[in-house]
Chain A
Amino acid sequence: MIELHNVTYSYPKQNMPTLRDISLQISPGTFLLVVGPSGAGKSTLLRTINGLVPHFYGGALQGRVRVEERDPVEFGPRGMSDLVGLVFQNPEAQFVTQLVEDELAFAMENLNFSQALMRRRVEEALDQLSIADLRGRKVETLSGGQKQLVAIASVLTLQPSILVLDEPTSQLDPQAAEEVLTILQKLNMDLGLTIVLSEHRLERVAQYADRICYLPRRGASPLLGAPREVLAQVDLVPPLVELGRKLDWQPMPLTIKESRPFAENLKRKWNGFRAPAPRPPAPGGTGTTKGVTTSGAGVIGTTKVVTTGLGFRYGEREVLKSISFELGAGELVALMGRNGSGKSTLLKNIVGLLKPQRGGVRVNGQDPAAIPLEQIARHVGFVPQNPGRLLFNETVQGELEFTCRAHNLGTEKIAGLLEQLGLSELREAYPRDLSTGERQRVALASILIAEPGALLLDEPTRGLDYVSKEKLLAILKRLRAQGVTILMASHDVELVAQCATRILLLGNGDIVADGTTRHVMNDSLVFAPQVNKALRDERFLTVADVLALEEAHQHAAQS
């Protein structure tokens, strides 16, 4: 049993508490999902369970916390380690050893287990998670999903009764995320482990949870209840729930399986009705970007990217075999594929950070590898996976001024861009103090201020909540309307469904699918959004698609 009674916690030097008067009771064997926007206190709540808060961070904790009759404030994280296993967002950052087997034994060594017991527990953990084949591997050679499974196994060896996971699937592709979540469900079902998991992508996890704890904002009271109860009351919901709410499906479906009867009814109701073919999205926005003239009437972009037979290998490992495609000016293309399929490598080849070993890349007819990087950056902007790698200035404004200075540009456009990206109020803020979504937008701003004609984004929604994703989505649509060519590597099928015009699907070093977003997603079981999985119809990728047809149908029925 996990009990929190009137818990209030403030980090050092902060006036406003992150957790305020929180009271929760979590029964043994519960699968609890903790959701809420960035900065609402999810990670803090999770760390309260094993005593990292307040032991590791300091600050003031009031109220009473009890975990299986133990007080984490008294015992501290070390004393709680046999009871609570904590898995972090980035598995790479938590590995201490180099070998999988050693990593699994690390916690047991710290608790002075005998060698025989350690051997037995390591075997059990490897079997429980079906990763026995990884035992002798170096952790650096594992895929993202495998790393996360090893991280889970490394805390399971202590046989804790509670497993706490802080956004464990945020960096994984849909398939790997599914593998991790299925394992967690199995541990919950078979071993009766209490699972407390925080996650932004509700569409992935809502179906597994027994209860949901929603933290609306920092210092606010949480909402705790059964998934249907909670999801009926909050704004941040997966597309399927949103659709169910809009169409008044009762009981509200949480899984694709539960939504199928409603979807079939809907299809029967439409009974072959087809709305007029949707027109291509009208270009919006006005203004001028580099090499691009935009107006309310139309858009003419100029930046074209062409790859021909591009091949690249890291040592013995061939990552890209023969990649050929063409990006037209003003296209927004999603680059999808499993972790390690070569998405980041392809982006780096396009921007000139890596040189193709076979074939070539042309950006507006020029070879990026033959031009100094700082010059390429004027034409092709690249936002890396970790936006923190770009940020070092004292203020947000300073970050943009730095890029302007580097490109010998004036600073007069900074205010406008900050306004567009919703960062005006944060202009004097220290970038590293911002939330993940805000950091991502600052990194984007620091690239966009140079007005590149093409933009390459590497996993831009990693760790973003729904609100931040909505903001990013709006920015991408606006950029596209301005004629900027965008290539975005992403695992986020819901975001891709909402904004991409085309998908390049990478697999085994090659492009295995290249087509319109509708076609590729409808044809895939893994890279399909929830709405499409429910209705299995190329016309429906997003909630808006379904609602548009439903509206047209109702209109036709009335007239």
Chain B
Amino acid sequence: MFHTTAWLLWLAAALVPFTLTKNPFYLFIALGAVAVDYYVLCRHSALGKSWGALLWLGTTVALFSILYNVLFVNVGATRLLTLPAYRWTFNEGVVQLGGAITLESLVYGLVSALSLIGLLVAFATFNAVADHYQLLRSAPRFLYQSAIVLSIAVTFVPQMVLAQAEIREAQTLRGHRFRAVRDLIPLFVTLLAEGLEHSITLAESMSARGFGGSGAPSKTRTPLLQIAIAVGLFMVLTGVVALKYVSEKMVGGGAVVVGAALLVSALWRVGRDVHVSRYRRIRWARRDVLLALAAGVILAVWGAGWWSDSLHFIFYPYPRLKMPPFEPLYGAALVLLAAPALLSKMFPHD
């Protein structure tokens, strides 16, 4: 397990390629690196194994998206084959299934699938390895008073992932077969209900153990802060609407700035009422420092690259597929995403 800050940095670095680019070279490297992490760090843990089923589901959806892209998007100069076309009118437009199958639509479907699978693997690895309690403690203090929100945010996904295998088994034992997407309803509805019930019990337990500050809330200050938060939010929203639809930019901008200031100061004041101590200090071990450095390098290299030439990362295969650009520095930086796997082997006792 890594230090929470280092681990959050790694997640941020891992999300960069999958959200910034559709360049297949970079996506392949990033996916390979996070897949190595998942294999090395997660394959033996219960949570990691439970994520396996969801990863398969995600991969299936991603593969389906490739098929969808190929069959419904007939744009592109490089025709691979032609299928019989079926057309029908939908919302005053025409939808076509089949027809020209192009290399461009196939490649676009593939890179979209790579992004989706990469995001899933990165989240699965992060979630299976993260110390959820430390994550909870890392949250801003003004959120502490909303124990239920925090407990749902931090435990809902792991709880759902752990429960899904058992719920799936239970439904299968009623004779249910999971063959199509609609067959997943019994799984998802039960998962959602169970996950929420679990989170509510946890939030109750956390509140009953003083999470979010102790003592009676002030009868005057608490309502004032609530009003300040509501007014701040209202001003920010009004300002945004004004900026978009009203020509007077000063009014909109002013409302956003004042509202944001009010919101931040009210939340800061809420957070000041929460005083917590630490039973144990989580020390930075060698591997945490190295992981943070690796993530920092990825973020710096890609951040600088995006700043200097954002067009380099944009890959769009239409209308005619061209070889995507590749910069070895960016590719090499992405290899560092495999650092958790490497570091866990190098410093197993840290």
Residues of A within 8 A of B (CB): 47, 50, 52, 55-56, 74-82, 84-86, 88, 90, 93-94, 96-98, 101-102, 105-115, 118-119, 122, 140, 154-155, 158, 315, 351, 353, 373-374, 376-378, 381-382, 384, 388-392, 402-403, 406-407, 432, 446-447, 450
Contacts and interface: CB of A to CB of B under 8 A. Distances in A.
A370 to B, nearest CB: 16
Contacts of B190: 388-392
B180 interface: no
A373 B46 CA distance: 23
B166 interface: yes
B201 A90 contact: yes
A96 B177 CA distance: 35
Contacts of A389: 163, 166-167, 170, 190, 194
Nearest to A354: B169
Interface stretch (B18-26, B210-218, B246-254, B317-325): B210-218
B205 A88 contact: yes
A114 B19 CA distance: 43
B174 interface: yes
B143 to A, nearest CB: 14
Contact of A93 (B44, B171, B201, B212): B201
Given A96-B206, A384-B170, A102 B194 contact: no
The majority secondary structure among interface residues of chain A is helix
A102 B280 contact: yes
Given A388-B193, A392-B190, A406-B176, A74 B216 contact: yes
Nearest to A86: B208
18 contacts: A52-B208, A81-B214, A85-B208, A86-B205, A93-B201, A96-B206, A98-B131, A102-B133, A106-B209, A112-B276, A112-B277, A119-B279, A140-B46, A315-B44, A351-B173, A402-B176, A406-B175, A447-B173
A75 B133 contact: no
B285 interface: no
B152 interface: no
A110 B170 contact: no
A155 B176 contact: no
B193 A88 contact: no
A431 B192 CA distance: 15
A403 B175 contact: yes
A82 to B, nearest CB: 7
Interface of B: 44, 46, 131-133, 136, 163, 166-167, 169-177, 185-186, 189-190, 193-194, 197-198, 201-217, 275-280
Contact of B201 (A88, A118, A155, A406): A88
B201 A94 contact: yes
Contacts of B169: 353, 373
Contacts of A378: 175
Contacts of A76: 207, 216-217
Contacts of A388: 190, 193-194, 197
B29 to A, nearest CB: 33
Contact of B166 (A77, A376, A384): A384
Contacts of A75: 215-216
Nearest to A113: B277
Nearest to B275: A112
A390 B211 CA distance: 33
A111 B177 CA distance: 50
A408 to B, nearest CB: 9
Given A94-B202, A110-B209, A373 B216 contact: no
A374 B175 contact: yes
